[in-house]
A and B are shown apart, each in its own frame.
Chain A
Amino acid sequence: MRALLARIGVVRAVIFFLILIIVPIVGGPVWLINTLIFTIMYAALASSWNLVGGYAGYPSLGHAAFFGLGAYAIAITFNKSVDGGYVPFIVLPIVGIGAALISLPIGWVAMRTRADVFAIVTITLLFIAQTLAFNLTGVTGGAQGTSVAVAPFAVDTYDWPFYYGMVVLLAVAMGISVYFRRSKIGLSLSTVRADEEKAHGVGVRVTAVKLIAFSVSAGLVAMVGGVWAYYVGFVYPQFAIDPLITIGMVLMAFLGGRGTLWGPVLGAFIMVPAQQYFAYTFGASELYLVAYAAVFLIIMLFLPRGILPSIADRLRKRRATANAREDIIPAVDVAATEGTGVAQ
């Protein structure tokens, strides 16, 4: 049964990624590829956030700081005087590892708090990072922003490297999620999420697994930020370290289901197109943010655990009811024939 489920999972992933790979080759309107890039970007962000926000149960609201860190790392290294080509993609792992290392002491301090306090501490991190980006003008260009070298890609397929870059990062984030779930890291993270105090009491290496989750998550988010910076070409503090990016990834993971593999991806594939649609419908006004907030409220009210866990719950309950019915009938038979009156 378990082997079968694992195989279904692999098939599902292969089909999903094959479709993603084929779409640009088959072709489509520019807006479609463009929307898909941002959808996949948010799927990667939400999946990365899920490592710490979902599996470890630490809802970080500061991840946009690492997104900005990665964006600035690429933007500053490959500023407009440099001919970047594919090099920015190749150095991404270094950006990721660097961001992961930087996140370690931050995580070590922040993760001494829990739940709502942790959320507030991490959102403070976001605003500190944004303030630094505004004021360290020598490095970041301040409010003027930093422009990135224009990629020398052919016009027809200009978007492709960014598109596939995001696809690879999504695959890596999901691959790490699978690895977490199948290793003792995931097992330990589940105990941290459920009852951290008790986890200490049965010898779980709580601090280590929390920091692993936080830093891997931060590193991945920084890599996504790097690709984003190269794609949009201009990095401003208010867009690279934007509370909306944080809220986006958190919201999508919540919508699809925290602590599940596909939940954050599903959330992104619903939210990003919806957001684009709202933005298009309501024009340049920021009314779409109201729609955004409404979606968040609806999730919290009706699906507090997200779409996938709610469906799984319902299925399990139905199966349990069916099983219980099957159990009752033979039990009655046994009691009647043996006259014991004791049913298992």
Chain B
Amino acid sequence: MSEILLSVDHLTKRFGGVTAVNECSFQVQTGTITALIGPNGSGKTTVFNMVTGYLKADSGSITFKGEPIMRPRPADLYRRGLSRTFQQARIFPDLTVLENLVVAAGYSWKQLFGKRVTADDNARAHRMLEEFRLEQLADLPSGELSYGQRKLLEFAAVLMSEPSLVLLDEPTAGVNPVMIDTMERHVRERHANGVTFLIVEHDMQLVMRLCDPVIVLDRGAPIAFGTPAAIQSDPLVLEAYLGG
């Protein structure tokens, strides 16, 4: 299981005079739940945005499933099996909970002209709703969901395309402790089914429980990489978080 799924090489991004990400290189191996942590402003979300095609890198390259991604575009990457969630959960509030899942499941050109929700779509979406225990909410406009439920729905939606790599941007930020456990359980379940995760997270207890390995970013570049235990005792990491 040491195959490399995602490889980021010498990625750099500058905003005006600020170098947000500086010659950043790391790899995500197939079958892991890799954490990407670091102090505020260390460039975690910027890395996410570049990897998923939302932001153009100034330099550097990204390789996914052994193929270099020349022009990363969110929709292409999604269809190739790389999907993400956002720090502030982004769902489509006018659509029902079920439709949010259906639209994210992907469709062919022919299906674009076909029914809005086919019986097949419905069945697939209901399986996912069952997994996430959201069945009762299926027909509710998703704009009426609570913040935690939105995060759950966004997560469920990006799983509809059966991705091989999922990037979660602070999946438990701002949700209640029960929801944190729920989120963790779903990540574990999906991981057991063969999905690889790259997670940005500030809840260190969760990171230490759930993730292995852990990558620590500081000032736009990795300063440490290893098991949670090794990271916790790394002097560079302590320095980055506490000192300086």
Contacts and interface: CB of A to CB of B under 8 A. Distances in A.
Interface of A: 181-188, 190-191, 193-195, 197-206, 208-209
Contacts of A204: 75, 103
A193 B116 contact: no
B79 A188 contact: no
A126 B155 CA distance: 43
Contact of B95 (A187, A205, A206): A187
A190 B99 CA distance: 10
Contacts of B54: 197, 201
Given A184-B114, A190-B95, A200-B75, 9 more contacts: A182-B116, A186-B116, A187-B116, A190-B99, A190-B103, A193-B94, A194-B95, A198-B90, A201-B52
Interface in B60-98: 73-75, 78-79, 83-84, 86, 90-95
B116 A202 contact: no
A203 B74 CA distance: 7
B122 interface: no
Contacts of B192: none
B12 interface: no
A259 B157 CA distance: 24
A208 B75 CA distance: 12
Contacts of B158: 202
A197 B78 CA distance: 13
Interface residues of B, number: 34
Nearest to B89: A198
B95 A200 contact: no
B44 to A, nearest CB: 17
A202 B83 contact: yes
Interface of B: 52-54, 73-75, 78-79, 83-84, 86, 90-95, 99, 102-104, 106-107, 109, 111-117, 157-158, 161
A206 B75 contact: yes
Nearest to A206: B75
A201 B112 contact: no
A201 B95 contact: no
B150 to A, nearest CB: 12
Contact of B99 (A187, A198, A201): A187
A209 B103 CA distance: 13
A179 to B, nearest CB: 9
B88 to A, nearest CB: 11
Contacts of A209: 112
A183 B113 contact: yes
Nearest to B93: A194
Counting chain B CB atoms within 10 Å of each CB, the highest count among A187, A194, A205 belongs to: A187
4 closest cross-chain pairs (CB), A and B: A202-B104, A203-B78, A200-B74, A198-B90
